[in-house]
Amino acid sequence: MVLAGDGIGTEIVAEAVKVLNVLQAEGAIDVTLQDGLVGGAAYDAAGDPLPEETLEAARASDAVLLGAVGGPKWEPLHISKRPEKGLLGLRAGLGLFANLRPAILYPQLADASTLKPEVVSGLDIMIVRELTGDIYFGQPRGVETLPSGERRGFNTMVYTESEVERICRVAFDIAMKRGKKVCSVDKANVLECTEMWREVATKTAADYPEIQLSHMYVDNAAMQLVRAPKQFDVMVTGNIFGDILSDCAAMLTGSIGMLPSASLNEKGQGMYEPIHGSAPDIAGKGVANPLATILSVAMMLRYSLDAVPAAERIEAAVSKVLDQGLRTADIMSSGMRQVGTAEMGDAVVAEL
């Protein structure tokens, strides 16, 4: 299922679909694409950021490719009608509890980072963020009026042991195929909920004798990402801490226009999307970077469609296009050739 969403979503998804179509025509993969509405686009068309129809079709799909949702146009809406609710509804509705967010520095784009080259060269972190629990979905929540007439807003951070164990297993399994190091991030010195998280992570690790598990407080993790990010292999954490840390980690690479993400459920269904947003300021101008979305297709082929060779071809094609010096505006640097969204997509297709 293809959900372009809002802002630059339509443009970047169009390039990713080109890639899928080429692989399909070749017989390298066998997919049927179905479009749907989500986010502000769905609100505008149907008064709901996640129409029942979209959720049903997504449930029936093997995988969902998402562009991006949101924009200033919908900010005045009540929180329950905002584009973000469409995204959160898909996560909850499909049970996409495991969000994989790689933060990889492309050697061709080493200069784009605001960090010194020696600090980030070769950076390759996988952040595993729990995506259907925590304060994002916890009850009770809301704003109440106290007897004094003053309002009081509240949200609940909550995790059960099985939710923690489930996401830790995903992180451990991934780490087994990488550097076998997992850093679990919590605030166990203050929050009981995350003190339990730490206990469960430790207990679950007993099944993975080869994994080297460490624990870090979230404030220190934010520091360490800036100080010495290469100390990390896989990081696992809850929904809200993961939201903050994965964006911080992504920015270390200087090229968030390059980073894909996957959100998986227990059945192997997944939703794939670039980690960047809908960039309303450049929407419709044909200048957005489609590579994160194209790399999201590669993740989709790898994790949900069992087409690893095709995934590798996409990744190699993206790397070649960068080698050729092609750059969209967000990753442009002197001596390179600046191209638009479609030209970048075409270049990847040509290299496939």
Instruction: Figure out which of the listed residues 110, 135, 332, 336 binds its own copies, where binding follows CB under 8 A.
Output: 135
Q: Answer yes or no: is 80 a known binding residue.
A: yes
Question: CA nearest 105: which of 246, 235, 253?
Answer: 253
Check binding of 219 to ligand IPM (CB under 6 A): yes
Minimum gap (Å) between residue 114 Cβ and its own copies: 4
Q: Provide the token pair at 271.
A: 């939703």
**Sole residue written with tokens 């050739």:** 337
Task: List phi, psi (to 5°) of 108.
Answer: -65, -20
Instruction: Figure out which of the listed residues 57, 244, 332, 342 binds its own copies, where binding follows CB under 8 A.
Output: 244
Check binding of 87 to ligand IPM (CB under 6 A): yes
- Window 54-73: residues binding its own copies (CB under 8 A): 70
CA-to-CA distance for 56 and 33, rounded, in angstroms?
Answer: 15
Say if residues 149 and 179 touch (Cβ distance below 8 Å): no
62 is catalytic: no
Task: Count the Cβ atoms, other than its own, within 10 Å of residue 16.
Answer: 29
Q: Answer yes or no: is 147 a known binding residue.
A: no
35 is catalytic: no
Site size toward ligand IPM (CB under 6 A) is 7
The secondary structure of 217-270 as a DSSP string is EHHHHHHHHHH-GGG-SEEEE-HHHHHHHHHHHHHHTT-GGG-EEEEE-TTS-E
| Catalytic hit among 106, 136, 159, 272 | 136
* Identity of the amino acid at 347: A
Task: List phi, psi (to 5°) of 26.
Answer: -70, -20
- Binding positions are 71-84, 91, 101, 129, 219, 243, 247, 277-289
List residues binding its own copies (CB under 8 A).
70, 79, 82, 84, 88, 114-116, 119, 135-136, 138, 141-143, 146, 150-162, 187-197, 218-220, 222-223, 225-228, 240-241, 243-248, 250-252, 254, 256
Q: Name the residues annotated as catalytic.
A: 136, 187, 219, 243, 247
